[in-house]
Amino acid sequence: MASYQKSSPINLNPPSRSKNVFSDIRNFLINKPQKSTLIKFESEENRKEYNRRVLQRVGIDVNKNFILNVHKIGVNAPVSYIFNELLNWNGDSTCWPNHVAKVERIDDDIENIEILPFGLKKYPFGLKKSFLGMNLIPLFKLHSIRIKNTPDAFDFDNARYLLYDCTGGYPIGIFVMYVRSPIEEMGEIAQSQLIFAVSFNFYGKEKEANRLVNKIWESVHNRVTSNVLNRVKQLSEWRLEKMANDMEYL
């Protein structure tokens, strides 16, 4: 297991905790992330290469889906430590907009999760099944395909991940939270690389979405995801720096 080495000073504050829907919107949507995380596909060949990487690393073929959205950030913390942070993903996390989209574990289990809009478990105003014909409660249902707690013996990337099959409002085919060691050939220098990826077709149908719908989704999703990854980075590095500082006084 890699050990943490104290480096240059970092932000010694944890991510601020949202208090309501408005602070969620400010922290995750309006706020500009400190580091850009979106991986842009410059060409169709570039997209195909990432399709191949997803298949190679998690065993899921995303080539049939129109949307493949990948975000990555370097974190100066061990892979195992960041993965443990991901395992703690819940409705109290400061790294997730829980007032807008609350994480609800089923039976307190990371393998089955519902994302509830504004924390609602049932429709308001006596509505029974949907809102204006849209099934929004829960917003998403996440069912674990695989949780990779330890890397394979032949895995030089030291990778760990949580892979989900997702259904809900607009069904996401897969969602993966993936963390690995840096790859020197890709110019990665941080101790770990944290990657979030989603692959799906809008409305759960194998057809391309309206361009306006796609553009709106991308702008919202990319801003929120970038802020989530930046917060995970900030939280992980702050906690490790805090532990290092505390050790100096023992």
Indicate whether 123 belongs to any domain.
Answer: no
Query: pLDDT band for position 5 (50/70/90)?
Result: very low
The residues, ordered by sequence, that sit 6+ positions from 45 with a Cβ below 8 Å of its Cβ are none
60 lies in some domain: yes
| pLDDT attached to residue 122 | 77
Confidence of residue 216 (pLDDT cuts 50, 70, 90): confident
Least confident of 18-22, 28-32, 207-211, 241-245: 207-211
Coil, strand, or helix at residue 114? strand
Q: Encode pLDDT of 7-48 as tens digits.
A: 444 447 899 999 999 999 999 999 999 999 999 988 888 888
Whether 63 is covered by a domain: the verdict is yes
Question: Rounded mean pLDDT of 142-171?
Answer: 85
Residue 189 lies in a domain: yes
Sign (positive/negative) of CA torsion 86, 91, 93, 97?
A: positive
Q: Is residue 174 part of a domain?
A: yes
> pTM here?
0.85
Q: How high is the mean pLDDT of the chain?
A: 84
pLDDT confidence of residue 170: 58
Q: Is the pLDDT of residue 146 over 90?
A: yes
CA distances for 227 relative to 18, 73, 96, 180, 223, angstroms: 13, 11, 9, 20, 6
- 209 domain residue, yes or no: yes
Residue 77 binned pLDDT confidence (cut-offs 50, 70, 90): very high
Contact between 236 and 93 (Cβ < 8 Å): no
CATH number at residue 71: 3.30.530
Please, what's the b/e burial string for 94-125 (b: 16 or more CB within 10 A of its CB; e: otherwise)? ebbbbbbbbbbeeeeebeebbbbeeeeeeeee
Name the band, by pLDDT with cuts 50, 70 and 90, for residue 242. Answer: confident
**pLDDT, position 231:** 96
Query: What pLDDT, on the 0 to 100 scale, is given for residue 103?
Result: 95
- Position 118 in a domain: no
Q: Does residue 125 fall inside a structural domain?
A: no
Structurally, the chain folds into a number of domains equal to 1
Its domain, for residue 37, covers 22-89+145-248
Q: What sign does the CA torsion over 184, 188, 194, 200 have?
A: negative
